[in-house]
Amino acid sequence: MFEIERKNFLGQDVIIHPTVISDNAMAVLIDTGFSGQKDIFLEEFEKASVPFELLKKIIITHHHLDHTGSLPSILEESHHKIQVLSNELEKPYIQGEKDLITKELLAQMESWPEQWRIDFQSELSNPPKTIVHKIVTDGEELPYCGGIVVINTPGHSIGHISLYHKQSKTLIAADAMVVQDGMLELNQQSMDIELSQKSLNKFTQYDIETVICYHGGLFNENVNECIAKLVLS
């Protein structure tokens, strides 16, 4: 798990937690942070003792700019082909075929401070665009690094996915959940909060020892029990 900070995004410093899974044959990166963070990712690979040359796959959990921002520059940095994977519903946004600015987002932005609106519209004016090479489907097991299972968890976004690494019993929740004040919580920042709540039920099918949330990081205390409580709440 990487820990990467973006200073002064919409008035606050944001820490995100992309994940790299690796073995002797390859590395898989899950999400790529904000734009302009390529060099930070290269540093994080070095800190984790994972050669950047091993990176063969990048899985994008959803199209939001804090997950796709450095994708084009990371791909450009590589001297070999890296395959990009995503959910089918997220693909047109990642490829720049659908507009990131929706009526709902514009309405939400009306209540923001003026400088926030200016900064965010600047980010959206030239969003990252990258070809998605492979579509992943719900329940699919990707034969990488001990097996990575795709879990469709819509709600935060239309085609949001989470991932379960079988070998380590680790759930990469992405933005389906957050760690807040040391507690595992449903992410309230959601396109459809009821659907987000419903999606949590899928996690109960797995024996999870560790959760990595994109916002909040690592959680490993009675994970299955905590998720079961969230499902019932």
Instruction: Determine which of 67-71, 109-113, 199-203 has the lowest per-residue pLDDT on average.
Output: 109-113
Residue extents of the structural domains in the chain: 4-232
- pLDDT tens figures, 58-76: 999 999 889 999 999 999 9
pLDDT of the residue at 217 = 95
Spatial distance between the Cα atoms of 87 and 138, rounded to a whole number of angstroms: 9
pLDDT of the residue at 191 = 83
Residues contacting 176, CB < 8 A, separation 6+: 153, 155, 156, 160, 162, 186, 187, 196, 199, 200
- Report whether pLDDT(168) > 90: yes
pTM above 0.75, yes or no: yes
- Report whether pLDDT(8) > 70: no
For residues 69 and 120, the answer to whether their CB atoms sit within 8 Å is: no
Neighbours of 42 (CB within 10 A): 13
Q: Residues 100-124: what's their mean pLDDT?
A: 67
CATH class of 4-232: alpha beta
Q: How confident is the model at residue 126 (pLDDT cuts 50, 70, 90)?
A: confident
